[in-house]
Amino acid sequence: MNPLSGTLIVFEGIDGTGKSTQVHLLADALRKQGHTVVTSFEPTNGPAGQRLRQSMREGRLSPQQELDLFHEDRRHHVETLINPALQRGETVILDRYYFSTLAYQGTRGFNIDELRQLNESFAPQPNLLFILELDIETALSRIGVRDGQGNDFEKHETLSACAKTFSQLQGDFIHRLSADQPPADLHQQVLATILAASQPQP
Selected from 11, 70, 130, 166, the binder of ligand TYD by CB under 6 A is: 70
User: Residue 26 contacts by C-beta under 8 Å, 6 or more apart in sequence?
Assistant: 9, 93, 187, 190, 191, 194
* Beta carbons within 8 Å of 128's beta carbon, 6+ residues apart: 7, 8, 9, 10, 173, 175, 193, 194, 197
Cα–Cα distance for residue pair 104/114, rounded to 1 Å: 14
In this complex, which beta carbon is closest to ligand TYD, that of residue 43 or of residue 126? 43
Smaller CB separation from ligand TYD, 69 or 194: 69
**Those residues with Cβ within 8 angstroms of residue 71's Cβ, 6 or more apart along the chain or in another chain:** 101, 118, 119
Which of 37, 82, 96, 136 is in the footprint of ligand TYD by CB under 6 A?
Answer: 96
174: enclosing H helix or E strand: strand 174-178
Dihedrals φ, ψ of 120, to 5°?
-75, -10
Q: Looking only at residues 126 through 185 of this chain, which bind ligand TYD when binding is defined by CB under 6 A? A: 153
Nearest distance from residue 53's CB to ligand TYD, in Å?
Answer: 7
Work out whether 15 is an interface residue with ligand TYD (CB under 6 A): yes
42 binds ligand TYD (CB under 6 A): yes
17 binds ligand TYD (CB under 6 A): no
Q: Which is nearer to ligand TYD, 4 or 107 (CB)?
A: 107
Residue from the set 18, 85, 104, 115 that interacts with ligand TYD by CB under 6 A: 104
Q: Which is nearer to ligand TYD, 5 or 114 (CB)?
A: 114
Asked if omega into 43 is within 30° of 0 (cis), the reply is: yes
C-beta of residue 130 within 8 angstroms of C-beta of residue 22? yes
Size of the site for ligand TYD (CB under 6 A): 10
Distance of CA 167 to the CA centre of its chain: 14
Q: Does residue 12 touch ligand TYD according to CB under 6 A?
A: no
Q: Considering beta carbons, is residue 4 or 93 the nearer one to ligand TYD? A: 93
CB of 173 to ligand TYD, least distance (A): 18
Residue 110 near ligand TYD by CB under 6 A:
no
Answer whether 39's CB lies under 8 Å from 156's CB. no
Residues that bind ligand TYD (CB under 6 A): 15, 42-43, 70, 96, 100-101, 104-105, 153
